[in-house]
Amino acid sequence: MKVQTASMEQAQQLLQKYYGYPDFREGQRKIVASMLGGADTLGIMPTGGGKSICYQIPALLQPGLTLVVSPLISLMKDQVDALIAMGIPAAFINSTLSGKEANDRIRAARRGELKLLYVAPERLELDWFREEMGTLDISCVAVDEAHCVSQWGHDFRTSYLAVSPFVNGLPRRPTLAAFTATATPEVMDDMIRLLRLDNPSVFVTGLGRDNLAMSVLRGENKREYIMNYVETHGHQPGIIYAATRKEVDDLYGRLRQAGVPAGRYHAGLSDREREESQEAFLYDDIRVMVATNAFGMGIDKSNVRYVIHFNMPKNMEAYVQEAGRAGRDGEPSDCILLFSPQDIMTQKFLIEQNPQDEDRKRNEYRKLQQMVEYCYSTSCLRWGMLDYFGEAHDRTPCGICSSCRDERELVDMTVDAQIVFSCIHRMRERFGVSLVSSVLKGSQNKKVLQYGFDKLPTYGMMRRRTEKEISELINMFIAEGYLALTEGQYPVVRLQPLAGDVLRGKHQVMMRAPEPASAKGAGTSGSSRRARGSVYDDGPSAVNETVFEQLRLIRRDLAEKERVPSYIIFNDATLREMSVVLPTSESEMLRIKGVGEVKYRKYGAPFLEFFQNMD
C-alpha cells in the first residue's frame, strides 16, 4: 500500500511538472492508481475529459514501453507532437513512414529511448511487427477509442479484434487498458470480452460535462440560423456537422460567400483537400469547419467553442462524441442540434443504404428512435444522455440545456393526450405516427379512407392543427414515455401503461405545449434565436479580451515556428487564466494551470516578457 501511495505522489508531481496541473480531474486519479497497481482497466470518460493523461502518466512511472493503439494518423501525430512539446519521449509508427523510419523508431524503443509508442490497430495483424514487438519490454498496452472493437458500437473496426491475440502473443502479458468516450452497457460488455480484459477495474466518470450547454432546436430555418450564429460568433472556432456531402458543400459555399473563413471535410474530397482543410482548422487559419461525420475522431483541438448539428445524428453515441469536441479545454461552449422531422427520413435512408445484416440494422433503427426521443424530450437533456449510457446521477437539472432554459409554462395537456391515445387505441395500435396524425387531422387521403378511419369518433378531432404539429405532439408523448414505437424501418405506435392511466382519468399530463408553427423558423428574430441557442456568448467576465487576443498572437507566432497547432503550445483556458492573473515572474507563470516546467522553459519567455512590459 505504501508503494502505491508513493506512486500516486510521484504521479501528481509529474502531472504538475509536464502538464502544469496541480491535481487530477474527477476519475483520472482512480484510473491512474488502478494502472499503477498493475490492474487491467476500462475507462469511460467524456471527450475532453483527459483520457490520454490516464495512460501517459503511468507510462512515465512504469519500466519499459507503453504501446498505444490509436485509430487515426492525425490523432497519433497530434498526441506525439504534444508529448514532445512537454519533453516526453514518444513516437508513432504508421503508413506515413518509410520502412527505415519505422525500424529506426523500433530500435529507439528497444534502447529504452521512448516511453510511449503509438500504432494503428491494423499494424498488430502484421507478422513482422508482432515479432519486433516481442523483442521489446512492453509494460502496458493502452487501447484508445476502444468502442471500435464492438459491432454494436458506432465505429466498428475489425482490426480492433487483433488487439487481444497480439497482447496474449507477447512473451510477457502487459497490463491492458482500454479507453473510450461513449459506451452503452452492451458495448462495455463487448470491450471487456473481446479485448479479454482480465478482471478489469471499470470506471465510468462524468459524461455530463458542466461546461457544455446542450440545445435541441426544432422548427428553425436551419441555414438562416447557422449564418446568424456564425456571424455573431465570428471570433470563435466551431464545427458544423451535416448528414450529407451535398449539405456540407452548400453550407460551405454560403459561408465562404459571406466572407467567413470556413473549410469543409467529407469523403468526396481528395485526401489532399481533406488534409489541407484539417490542417487549416487545427492551425486556426480558418475558424469554421463544415463536415460530415467523417471528420473529428482524434481531433485534439481544444478551443472549439461550438458544435452545431445541421441534422440529427444517427444515434446518441455519435452525437455525444461529435458534440463533445466542443470545449475540450474546459471553457464554456455550445452544442446545438437543429432538428426537423426530415432528419429521421435522411437517417433511415442512410441505414438502408448501408449493407449490414438484419440484426445490426434493427439495432440501428432502435438507436435512431432513441435519438428521436432525445430530440423531442422536454426533460433535462443531460439526464437523457446520462440515462442512455447508464451513468448514475442525482436527477438535478443541469440548468443550462435548452429544456432547462425553456421559459414556456407547463400546461395541462391531458385532454389532448386522451384524444391521441384514444385514436391510437381505436386504430388497434397497428400504424405509425404519420397515419395517426392524418386521422386526427381529418385527412381524406387514400389510406385513411381505405381503412375506414374516417368513421372513427376521433377522426378530425385535431383539425385545427397541422399534421406536422400533431406528429410533433405524438413524438413528445413518445419521448415522455406515454407511447412507444416498435423497432424497424416502419415503426408502429403503441400505448404504454401510463397512457392507460391517462385514458382512465388517473393521471394528469403536464407538459410544455409545442410552439405553433407561426413562432418558428424564419419568423424567429435573431436575438431570440441566439438566446435559445447559446448561453455562453460573452464568456468569463474577468477575462481581459484585449490581453487574451495579444496572447493568442504570441502563441500563433510560436506555433508557426514550431510547426505545431496553437493549442499544443498552450490552450485557450491557460491563456484566459494568464489574462486574469497577469503573471510577471516565473513562479507566477508556473502556478497557471497548463504551464508545466518543460513548457515554461520552451515557450514561457515571450509571454512573461509581454506581461513585464505591460503599462
| Whether the predicted pLDDT of 354 surpasses 80 | no
Name the amino acid, one letter, at 277.
S
- Going along the chain from its start, the domains and CATH numbers come out as 2-204 (3.40.50.300), 212-388 (3.40.50.300), 410-514 (1.10.10.10), 545-612 (1.10.150.80)
The per-residue pLDDT for range 518-538, each reduced to its tens digit, is 444 433 333 333 334 555 554
Q: How far apart are CA 181 and CA 43, in angstroms?
A: 8
The per-residue pLDDT for range 165-207, each reduced to its tens digit, is 999 999 999 999 999 887 778 888 999 999 999 999 999 876 7
Residues 6+ apart with CB under 8 A from 388: 184, 316, 370, 374
Closest CA to 297 of 72, 613, 4: 72
Instruction: Tell me the average pLDDT across 303-331.
Output: 90
CA-angle at 158, arms to 155 and 160, nearest 5°: 85
pLDDT, mean over the chain: 87
Residue 359's H or E segment, with its range, is helix 358-376
| Whether the predicted pLDDT of 546 surpasses 90 | no
Instruction: Tell me the average pLDDT across 249-257.
Output: 95
Q: How far apart are CA 67 and CA 140, in angstroms?
A: 6
Query: 48, exposed or middle or buried, with CB in 10 Å at 0-12, 13-18, 19+?
Result: buried
Q: What is the DSSP letter of 147?
A: G
Residue 469's H or E segment, with its range, is helix 467-479
Backbone angles phi, psi at 511, to 5 degrees: -145, 165
Query: 504, exposed or middle or buried, with CB in 10 Å at 0-12, 13-18, 19+?
Result: exposed
The per-residue pLDDT for range 92-127, each reduced to its tens digit, is 998 888 889 999 999 999 999 999 999 999 999 999
Is the distance from CB of 298 to CB of 74 less than 8 angstroms? yes
Q: How far apart are CA 186 and CA 350, in angstroms?
A: 23
Sign of the CA dihedral running 303, 306, 312, 317: positive
Please state the pTM of the whole predicted model.
Answer: 0.75
Is the distance from CB of 396 to CB of 498 less than 8 angstroms? no
Name the amino acid, one letter, at 107.
R
